[in-house]
Amino acid sequence: MKRTHRWGRVYLLFVFAIMYTPIGYLMYYSFNSGGTMHDFQSFTLKWYGEVLSDDRLLIIVLNTLVVALLSAAVATILGVIGALAIYYVKRQRMKNTLLALNNVLIVSPDVIIGASFLLLFTLAGIKLGFASVLLSHIAFSVPIVVLMVLPKLEEMSPTWIDAARDLGAGSRQVLSRVILPFLTPSIWAGFFMALTYSLDDFAVTFFVTGNGFSTLSVEIYSRARQGISLSINALSTLLFLFTMLLVVGYYVFSQKGGRMYGIGGRK
Amino acid sequence: MERAWRNWYLIPYAAWLVLFVIAPLVFLVYESFLDIDGQWTLANYEKVLTPIYLKMMAYSFWYALLITLASLLIGYPTAYWLTKTRHKQLWLLLLILPMWVNLLLKVYAFLGLFGTYGLANAFLQAIGVGARQLLFTDFSFVFVSVYIFIPFMVLPIFNALEELPPSLIDAARDLGASGWTTFRRVVFPLTLSGVKAGCQAVFIPALSLFMITRLIAGNRVITLGTAIEQHFLVTQDWGMGATIAVVLMIAMAVIVFLTGSGRKEGSR
């Protein structure tokens, strides 16, 4: 038994090495003065300087952050409303239908979401750009928030609501004093999840971005198509550190709010 | 009073459902019956059934299957050993941390790793195999995809393993089953829901990857996703793109139906 454990550990180490090699590789060469992702010549910070002095790139980073924060905030509000809506539906059939519809955007491949949103915006006459990207990010984040909040809601004992009502609370007070405080950790977890989905999304954005507006993922894609440039490496190092911060935040909240629901839905 | 209060929540949520779930799907189906000039036609569906497209679909499914199987083969033992480590939640977090690194950056990293003078070729040379062309091959496409999907496979299996009562394993051992028999007859069947959820989480997106095929596989591998992207954004033949999307959706629905609702069971 002990021996197999040791092999298990070796195996895990191997998997971890594979998982982190590409990320480490990117970071390592971001300090290479040689300009390629092989043959490390000497240590330099010039790629970081290049990233930080690239106004266009900084605007894109800003765009990406604005879209992520706005869409996550709106999606969280809509998602909490959605979870409450599903929670209060009493008929099981109706509930299952709502849940199935909720999950459509989670199981659909990004390409299909992107293509169908492109059709939607074109037919609705919405100009492709900031608005269409923001709307689609809100749209695909809502079901994730619902899925993170709903289990917590189902966990809540209904007697609490009865007790609050018996003590004279109106429906507004029940919501603000009982339900929402109880849901807070899962709402934050949902917000973080929506944030990471938005920051990470490429395919949907790629379809609905049009000309003139770009997010980081789309920009990285178009730069990577032109080949290797170490400023992308520098950028990715900065992004990785930023993501670590986000993950730590998410981890803290999800530890409070229960299990890591919903991850593993997309790429 | 009670009723009116409940309906308040349903209004914005239902509006979202109609606008962003139902309407886009309806438009997609509608578009699939239009030709490039906006005339009604069934030609798109006829075209999808020609050998060129059927072959592309078969390839797409074949690659998705390969990617799913490879992820499962690597992911299951990973999840299994993870549950045996001491600080398993921390290790799990570390394993899925790369999920939060932008997908494009991970793919981009492989442009360097698999390049002619990259680390992979240096390694191959060191062990005596010799350098070879790695980029723009189907191998690199499958490898990179598996790399990206492993966390998606590990997570549901890990959860399923965690929910397995340890007493069942003790019982099997007490009844004289060897380690392997215990695994085969007790552990694996009881974590099947996680395996199904993981396979769904990998197979469906694997059908539609287009950025990986574009960046890593050159244009050697054309998946359904690549074809949709091509029709929508390059040739502007939206009708054809929508038709392929509809076919992909039907295929997806069949897969979800066949594998059962593994996702639900897995998260119970």
Confidence of residue A11 (pLDDT cuts 50, 70, 90): very high
Same-domain pairing of B102 and B217: yes
Ordered per-residue pLDDT tens for chain B, 268 residues: 444 455 688 899 999 999 999 999 999 999 999 988 888 888 889 988 899 899 988 989 999 999 999 999 999 999 999 998 888 888 888 888 888 788 888 888 998 888 888 888 888 888 877 777 888 888 889 999 999 999 999 999 999 999 888 898 889 889 988 888 888 888 999 999 899 989 988 988 888 888 888 888 777 778 888 899 989 998 888 999 999 999 988 888 888 788 765 444 333 3
Same-domain pairing of B89 and B143: yes
Whether A132 and A116 have beta carbons less than 8 Å apart is answered as: no
Please report whether residue B268 resides in a domain. no
User: Cβ–Cβ of A38/B119 closer than 8 Å?
Assistant: yes
What's the token pair of residue A93?
Answer: 């059939």
Task: Give the number of domains in chain B.
Answer: 2
What's the token pair of residue B4?
Answer: 């009116």
- Across the interface, which of B104, B156, B205 has its CB nearest the CB of A221? B104
pLDDT at A107 over 60: yes
Same-domain pairing of B159 and B107: yes
The mean pLDDT of A172-200, rounded to a whole number, is 88
Please report whether residue B10 resides in a domain. no
pLDDT at A247 over 80: no
How far, CA to CA in Å, does B58 sit from each of B40, B51, B62, B198? 28, 10, 6, 22
Confidence of residue A71 (pLDDT cuts 50, 70, 90): very high
- Across the interface, which of B82, B152, B208 has its CB nearest the CB of A112? B208
pLDDT at A266 over 60: no
Q: Show which of residues 9-38 on chain B sit within 8 Å of chain A, judged by CB atoms.
A: 9-10, 12-14, 16-17, 19-25, 27-28, 31
Same-domain pairing of B249 and B217: no
A48, A47, A23: which is closest to A35 by C-alpha?
Answer: A47
User: Cβ–Cβ of B159/A261 closer than 8 Å?
Assistant: no
Interface residue B96 vs chain A (CB under 8 A): yes
Task: Give the chain A residue nearest B198 (alpha carbons).
Answer: A264
Same-domain pairing of B110 and B41: no
Same-domain pairing of B126 and B142: yes
Please report whether residue B37 resides in a domain. yes
Q: Residue A161 CB: number of other CB atoms within 10 A?
A: 16
Please report whether residue B185 resides in a domain. yes
Same-domain pairing of B217 and B233: no
Same-domain pairing of B199 and B99: yes
The alpha carbon of residue A236 is apart from the nearest alpha carbon of chain B, in Å, by: 7
Same-domain pairing of B64 and B98: yes
Identify the residue with better confidence: A261 or B32.
B32
Same-domain pairing of B75 and B25: no
Side-chain half-sphere of A251: how many Cα atoms within 13 Å? 15
pLDDT at A6 over 70: yes
Helix, strand or coil for residue B34? strand
Q: What is the DSSP letter of A32?
A: B
Please report whether residue B67 resides in a domain. yes
Angle between helices A130-155 and A110-124 (to 10 degrees): 120
Same-domain pairing of B195 and B235: no
User: Cβ–Cβ of B112/A196 closer than 8 Å?
Assistant: no
Rounded Cα distance, B120 and B143, in Å: 12
Same-domain pairing of B66 and B119: yes
- Across the interface, which of B102, B117, B197 has its CB nearest the CB of A39? B117
The alpha carbon of residue A22 is apart from the nearest alpha carbon of chain B, in Å, by: 5
Whether B32 and B48 have beta carbons less than 8 Å apart is answered as: no
| Domain ranges, residue B151 | 60-222
Residues of A in contact with B27 (CB under 8 A): 116, 119-120, 123
Least confident of A85-94, A143-152, B214-223, B240-249: B214-223
Please report whether residue B216 resides in a domain. yes
Whether B92 and B158 have beta carbons less than 8 Å apart is answered as: yes
Residues of B in contact with A221 (CB under 8 A): 104, 211, 215
Q: Residue A124 CB: number of other CB atoms within 10 A?
A: 12
- Across the interface, which of A109, A251, A264 has its CB nearest the CB of B207? A109
The mean pLDDT of A49-76, rounded to a whole number, is 92
A203, A19, A197, A235: which is closest to B144 by C-alpha?
Answer: A19
Confidence of residue A4 (pLDDT cuts 50, 70, 90): low
Q: Write out pLDDT tens, residues B231-259.
A: 999 888 899 999 999 998 888 888 878 87
Q: Where are the alpha helices (DSSP H) in chain B?
A: 2-17, 23-31, 43-48, 51-82, 88-96, 103-113, 119-126, 138-163, 166-174, 179-182, 188-190, 192-208, 211-215, 224-229, 238-258, 262-266
Whether B60 and B213 have beta carbons less than 8 Å apart is answered as: no
Least confident of A53-67, A189-203, B124-138: B124-138
- Across the interface, which of B91, B149, B155 has its CB nearest the CB of A267? B149
Please report whether residue B266 resides in a domain. no
CATH code, domain carrying B146: 1.10.3720.10
User: Cβ–Cβ of A119/B207 closer than 8 Å?
Assistant: no
Please report whether residue B31 resides in a domain. yes
Which CATH code fits A31-265? 1.10.3720.10
